[in-house]
Structure 1
Amino acid sequence: MGRSEKVILTNMCMIYDDNGRILVQDRLNPNWSGITFPGGHVDKGESFSHSVIREVYEETGLTIKSPLLCGVKQFQTTEDERYIVLFYKTNKFEGKLTSSEEGNVFWLKRENLYKYKLANDFDKMLEIFESDDLSEFYYNKESELLTVQLL
């Protein structure tokens, strides 16, 4: 058995400020709609850090600095590709907040997050972003059932 496999690389970034607010995106994609953090795909040959800086800019109009890798999410697609989401966070940013066709972006107080419809399993992903003890969100396939594991 070979050691290589098909992989899709993506990113997501939690941007927060000193006033207890987080930047969220209300995604329009019907395959995964609801409140989440901005992010997107890593282009071939692109560094992971540059990809999250680019994606955040494209989706929010903000230029982030010093994104810190804080976790990862992974699962197998129906095409047997490993889908990996690199989780970043930062409180260093500048620019004018602007929404994109991906969805409306806006600031909200962290404690008000659950007043909104969250994207599927986003609440569990948030545990990884905010934890010093967890670093991986993993969909484990047991029999025909997918279960979330936070590791």
Structure 2
Amino acid sequence: MERSEDVILTNMCMVYDGNKVLVQEKILRGDRKKDRSKGIIFPGGHVERHEPIVDSVIREIYEETGLTIENPRLCGIKNWVREDGRRYIVFLFKTDRFSGELKSSDEGKVFWTELEDLPDMPFLWHMDRMLRIFDKEEFAELFLEVEHDWRPVLK
């Protein structure tokens, strides 16, 4: 019985300062202009081969925002099994310790917004449900079931 599986490891971090949170506006480009969509997400990215998970989130936040974060705290995960059979795992972190000058990157525009304003913004990638992990700490895992049109299952 095989007890291992192929995985893709990624991270995302809610950087906050009081009631303000740092968000990233991403534009997803499809094959045609009408396939383009835009939405808000927290910054993050891929874990490099053999890279420690915490180091990866510190590196990704710096690359995408110009900020150096400290003491990122793991607050949950989002994951699903892709159609090719690989599991995709997003480690969800949060921190209020950072330094540096905010700057956007090729990944998208970054800016501060009020936490209470987030629900009125256009989300990407189940961000509304991830907020229940980041902000409310109501759940530790968001699992998406591919068989049901990527229906989120909070556990």
Fold conserved between structures, TM > 0.5: yes
**Any conservation in 2 of the 1:29–1:102 contact (CA below 8 Å)?**
no
**Any conservation in 1 of the 2:14–2:134 contact (CA below 8 Å)?**
yes
User: Which runs of 5 or more structure 2 residues have no equivalent in the other structure?
Assistant: 31-36
Relative to the length of structure 1, the TM-score reads 0.92
User: How many Å separate the matches in 1 of 2:104 and 2:114?
Assistant: 18
Counterpart of 2:127?
122
Counterpart of 2:55?
50
Q: In structure 1, the residue corresponding to 2:55 is in which secondary structure?
A: helix
Counterpart of 1:61?
66
Code of the residue aligned with 1:150 in structure 2: it is: L
How many residues are matched? Answer: 149
Counterpart of 1:101?
106
User: How many Å separate the matches in 2 of 1:33 and 1:69?
Assistant: 27
Please state how far the C-alpha of 1:150 moved relative to its aligned partner. 1.2
1:65-144 to 2 correspondences below 5 Å: 65-142=70-147, 144=148
Please state how far the C-alpha of 1:33 moved relative to its aligned partner. 4.1
User: Which runs of 5 or more structure 1 residues have no equivalent in the other structure?
Assistant: none
Code of the residue aligned with 2:21 in structure 1: it is: I
Relative to the length of structure 2, the TM-score reads 0.90
Counterpart of 1:5?
5
User: How many Å separate the matches in 2 of 1:145 and 1:106?
Assistant: 31
Counterpart of 1:27?
26
Please state how far the C-alpha of 1:145 moved relative to its aligned partner. 3.9
Please state how far the C-alpha of 1:96 moved relative to its aligned partner. 0.3
**Any conservation in 1 of the 2:132–2:138 contact (CA below 8 Å)?**
no
RMSD over aligned CA atoms reads: 1.5
Distance 1:5 1:26, change over 3 A: same
Code of the residue aligned with 1:58 in structure 2: it is: E
Alpha-carbon displacement from aligned partner over 1:105-138 (angstroms, at most 9, x marks no partner): 0000111113321113110011111233410000
Identity value in percent: 47
